């Protein structure tokens, strides 16, 4: 790490790529993480703006290592992706999210979706459809309870393969969304053909939406795009009432962010889902 004087030290170490040694150290530790029960999922509520009801949650991976402590996804997900470990980790996430969805259903909570992040590497493997199906079957879960979040960058390569896999997943009955929408370069012509259910507006556009006219224009455009293509639109990273006001005014369907709730362990989210409990 470079010492740049004052508090810029932290800035440089975080912005720089991890050193080879640190990467190896993380990779080796991560290799043991599943077997050692170090992984867990937190769940962040997604809220419908017109009703303030919780419609579902996004499952977000957490890793607590016995000596490294809690390692943020921004550090270990890239290592997991480059090492290929994301495939087995992602499979664990899928199964765990389905198991939790099953527990919620058993508590009488229905009509929610549990969104799971899929990495490009996972998505491109030929067995992804079978893995999703077996995760659902194992928990006897209605497929509509699970949503798979795909990043926009994933959609840009091998359009035909991507399209086929998406159609196979839709045929099972899971929902599909495009994560971090607006940050990639997906062609709008393709967007029309992809069988997606919703767009997630990236946090970077939501951040400044109340002050920056460019960000406001981008968010407004995505909301209108969703409306005309009959896709739900959810804004992520909503932290301030002014952002919420803007999104509500523009007719954005739903939102997710610290203003409503942080990602938290399942047992803490459960009470927030009681509105979805069968009478």
Residues lying near Ca ion in the complex (CB under 5 A) are found at: 117, 149, 179-180, 202-203, 236
CB-nearer residue toward Ca ion: 29 or 215: 215
Q: Does 252 bind ligand C2E (CB under 6 A)?
A: no
Q: Does 60 bind ligand C2E (CB under 6 A)?
A: yes
Q: Does 93 bind ligand C2E (CB under 6 A)?
A: yes
Closest CA to 252 of 214, 204, 199, 213: 199
Q: Are 169 and 177 in contact (CB under 8 A)?
A: no
Min CB(72)–ligand C2E separation in Å:
6
Q: Are 26 and 79 in contact (CB under 8 A)?
A: yes
Q: Are 63 and 121 in contact (CB under 8 A)?
A: no
Q: Does 49 bind ligand C2E (CB under 6 A)?
A: no
Contacting ligand C2E within 205-244 (CB under 6 A): 236-239
CB-nearer residue toward ligand C2E: 129 or 238: 238
- The interface partner of residue 258, options being ligand C2E, Ca ion, none and the CB cut-off 5 to 8 Å by kind, is ligand C2E
CB-based contacts of 58, cutoff 8 Å, min separation 6: 43, 44, 46, 114, 115, 117, 149, 256, 263
Q: What 3-state class would DSSP assign to 236?
A: strand
Min CB(111)–ligand C2E separation in Å:
23
Q: Does 77 bind ligand C2E (CB under 6 A)?
A: yes
Size of the site for ligand C2E (CB under 6 A): 23
- The interface partner of residue 168, options being ligand C2E, Ca ion, none and the CB cut-off 5 to 8 Å by kind, is none
Min CB(173)–ligand C2E separation in Å:
21
Residues contributing to the site for ligand C2E (CB under 6 A):
44, 60-61, 72-74, 77, 86, 90, 93, 117, 119, 179-180, 203, 236-239, 256-258, 263
């Amino acid at each position: 790490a470079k010492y740049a004087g004052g508090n810029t030290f932290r800035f440089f170490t975080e912005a720089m790529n991890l050193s080879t040694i640190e990467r190896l150290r993380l990779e080796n530790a991560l290799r043991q993480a599943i077997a050692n029960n170090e992984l867990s999922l937190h769940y962040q509520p997604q809220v419908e703006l017109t009703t303030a009801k919780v419609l579902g949650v996004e499952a977000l991976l957490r890793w607590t290592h016995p000596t490294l402590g809690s390692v943020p996804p921004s550090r270990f997900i890239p290592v997991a992706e480059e090492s290929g470990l994301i495939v087995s980790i992602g499979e664990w996430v899928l199964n765990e999210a389905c198991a939790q969805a099953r527990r919620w259903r058993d508590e009488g909570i229905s009509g929610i979706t549990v969104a799971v992040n899929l990495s490009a590497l996972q998505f491109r493997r030929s067995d992804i459809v079978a893995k999703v199906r077996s995760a659902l079957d194992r928990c006897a879960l209605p497929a509509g309870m699970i949503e798979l979040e795909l990043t926009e960058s994933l959609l840009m390569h091998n359009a035909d393969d991507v399209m086929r896999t998406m159609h196979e997943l839709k045929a099972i009955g899971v929902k599909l969304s495009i994560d971090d929408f607006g940050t990639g370069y997906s062609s709008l012509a393709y967007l029309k053909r992809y069988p997606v259910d919703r767009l997630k507006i990236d946090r970077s556009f939501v951040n400044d939406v109340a002050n920056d006219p460019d960000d406001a224009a981008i968010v407004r455009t995505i909301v209108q795009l969703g409306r005309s293509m009959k896709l739900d639109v959810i804004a992520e990273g909503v932290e301030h009432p002014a952002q919420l006001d803007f999104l509500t005014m523009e007719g954005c369907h739903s939102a997710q962010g610290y203003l409503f709730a942080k990602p938290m362990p399942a047992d803490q989210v459960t009470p927030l889902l009681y509105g979805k409990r069968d009478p």
